[in-house]
Amino acid sequence: MQTIRCIIIEDEPLAVKILLDYIEAIPYLECQGIFREAIGAGVFLQTTAVNLIFLDIHLPKLKGLAFLRTLAHPPAVIVTTAYHQYAIEGFELSVVDYLLKPFSFERFVAAVNKVPKYLLPTLVVGKEILSKEAALFVSIERKKVKIVLDTLLYIESAREYIRIVTTQGEFRAKISTHEMEALLPKTQFVRIHRSFIVAVDKIEVFTKEEVTIQGQAIPIGKAYKEALLL
């Protein structure tokens, strides 16, 4: 199973310890960070793609469900709380599951097992679905558009959107380059700039400053020069 990258947003040390113990017991779960309040987690999510949030409701400063409403493109969310009265509101926000503290490891596993089904309709790597051609299904204008990886040339950040440039044309999707990068095979695609991810096998020419793909010059950022061994 593909690794599910997660973070914990929880201000109770004992609850954090229990979640960490449970996460470490599941091989395909990988904890990327622990946050005692939602503001710091929000900053982290702006630069790092994760698949799942374990979210407490009663947090300092900004409550869990209020924080969830601030996310334009939230990952899967499993709510963890001692208060059952928020369950309906949580499910209205499309959370994957609602764990009422204290919860058992068995109940935790049951919740986590729902996550892949939640992630599949929004943006998935299609290798497990398409045996002959690896592809992404990307949400574009409320439709799921199939993009065969072999046709993908490069991806460019365009503020709240990204441009997905392929040999079949280009698309605009309202996700981040970090989210896209996390889903692309690292052996085939590399970030060469804060705003650009390119297909390695589509590079025609490169220097220390830029690469060229189908006649299009794409800059190489200083922090990414080692990506192409320059």
State the pLDDT at residue 84: 67
pLDDT above 70 covers a percentage of the chain that reads 86
State the pLDDT at residue 228: 61
The rounded mean pLDDT for the chain is 83
The class of domain 123-228 in CATH terms is: mainly beta
Render pLDDT for 173-204 as a digit per residue (tens, 0 to 9).
Answer: 888 888 888 888 877 888 899 999 999 889 99
Q: Which CATH architecture has domain 4-119?
A: 3-Layer(aba) Sandwich (3.40)
Q: Does the structure show a pLDDT above 70 at 92?
A: no
Residue 144 near residue 121 (C-beta atoms within 8 A)? yes
Q: Dihedral, CA atoms, 91, 18, 119, 65, nearest 10 degrees? A: 30
State the pLDDT at residue 73: 75
**Domain residue extents for the chain:** 4-119, 123-228
Separation CA 29–CA 2 (nearest Å):
9
Considering only 85-89, 128-132, 169-173, 182-186, which range has the smallest mean pLDDT? 128-132
Q: Does the structure show a pLDDT above 70 at 219?
A: yes
Residue 68 CB neighbours (<10 A): 22
The reply to whether 4-119 and 123-228 are identical in fold is no
Q: Spell out a b/e string for 174-199, using b for 16 or more CB atoms within 10 Å of the CB, else e.
A: ebbbbbbebbbeeeebbbbbebbbbb
Q: Does the structure show a pLDDT above 50 at 90?
A: yes
Render pLDDT for 112-131 as a digit per residue (tens, 0 to 9).
Answer: 998 887 665 443 333 333 33
Mean pLDDT, rounded, for 199-226: 88
Query: Phi-psi category of 58—alpha, beta or left, where left has phi over 0 and alpha has psi -120 to 50?
Result: beta
Phi, psi of 202 (to 5 degrees): -100, -5
Q: Does the structure show a pLDDT above 60 at 37?
A: yes
Whole-structure pTM value: 0.55
Q: Does the structure show a pLDDT above 70 at 166?
A: yes
